[in-house]
Structure 1
Amino acid sequence: MSKDRSAAIAAGLILAGTFLLFVFMPNIMLAAGEVSPWLAVALGLIAVGAFFAVFWLRARYKAKQGGEQR
């Protein structure tokens, strides 16, 4: 499998996972808000942080592998 194709598949999976997370996020936060408003805030922060963490981890992995090589 070529590097471009695997990168496109990875990007598609990240995009699909993010889409699904943020589609269901309002319902998750409302349910968590019934337990505690702070729990809802924490879950929201974790969700947004996870979105950026995926790209941060990918950038670290690429840097360790020698950067973008084509």
Structure 2
Amino acid sequence: MSEENSGARSPAIAAAIILVVAGVVFFLMPKIMLWLGSYSPWLGALFGTAVVLAFFLLFWLRARHQRRRS
């Protein structure tokens, strides 16, 4: 595999891994929110908000890192 070819695949592989992990987290999020909500509705809402914000924060940080590298 050439250096040029692996360089083009790296961002795609990283994005795919991020999306798969995020998909699993979003799939499990309702159960976790309901479990936390049994203790406190605010705790469940806080968890849901944190997960959604973390998803966007991850891509923002990755884009920022990519801009600095190039």
Give the structure-2-normalised TM-score.
0.88
Give the structure-1-normalised TM-score.
0.88
1:45-60 superposed matches below 5 A: 45-60=49-64
Q: Quick check: which one's helix share is greater? A: 2
Letter in 1 for 2:48: G
Identity of aligned residues (%): 47
Count residues with an aligned counterpart.
66
1:15-26 superposed matches below 5 A: 15-26=19-30
Structure 2: give runs of 5+ residues left out of the alignment.
none
1:8 corresponds, among 8, 12, 16, to 12
Q: What SS does the corresponding residue of 1:40 show, helix, strand or coil? A: helix
Structure 1: give runs of 5+ residues left out of the alignment.
none
